[in-house]
Amino acid sequence: MAVNLNPDDFIITRKRKLYKFALFANSPLCFEVEQWQTTLPTDVLELGAGTGLFGVSLAEHAPASHVLAVDVKADRLQTGAQQALEKKLTNIHFLRARADQLLELLPVHSLQKVWVTFPDPFPKERSAKNRLTHPKFLAVYQTLLASGGELYFKTDAVDLFTWSLEQLVREGWRIDELSFDLHGSDLPDDYKVMTTYETRYTGEGLSIHFVRAVPPIATV
């Protein structure tokens, strides 16, 4: 059966994406890698931030912290940047970057918290090296976390979660808090602030898996 496609639909979609990129480029809170100022204070990192709205909540509820929301897609990050501007928040920034660029962008032992929220599970084993809880990325977080710093990880993907727990244990991280049903647990409400994906997944009846972990002695 033939399907009639309207070329104007693609034009509208492209214009909308270009508009979002323009919002990102013109926001005082948003940065590309080459624009990032390493002197800007950062002690809380959200990686795979998506729309950045979770980072906005972190910044709003902890005004003494300095949050950096990182994602590879600028058109998504600008959503959080717009909200942060509306709320007049000055303790959050948004950066379009990859996880493997973090060591070039942030000082060693500068972070108190790293949040990894609903990353791509990369279910195929050959793509395991791209998972944000792969040992190569755990080593990055370990290097960036200050003494007493912690990793917080949320996902709805149970296979990714159990695999990630295995990596944490194998790499010597200490598991301090763990739940296969975060919102049904008695863990602190601070952990239950929802990301955009989390709101959708819980609305579909999915359980959210959560772990708080402490790295072994940090390396330089």
The set of catalytic residues is 120
What residue type is assigned to position 103 of the chain?
L
Q: How far apart are CA 206 and CA 204, in angstroms?
A: 6
Please give the C-alpha separations between residue 70 and each of 131, 187, 209, in angstroms, as whole numbers. Answer: 15, 26, 21
Q: Look up residue 30 and give its two tokens.
A: 């948003």
Q: Look up residue 171 and give its two tokens.
A: 């790499």
CB 51 within 8 A of CB 77: yes
Q: Look up residue 138 and give its two tokens.
A: 């755990």
Please give the C-alpha separations between residue 165 and each of 2, 89, 161, 216, in angstroms, as whole numbers. Answer: 48, 34, 6, 15
Tell me how far apart the terminal alpha carbons of the chain are, to the nearest angstrom: 61
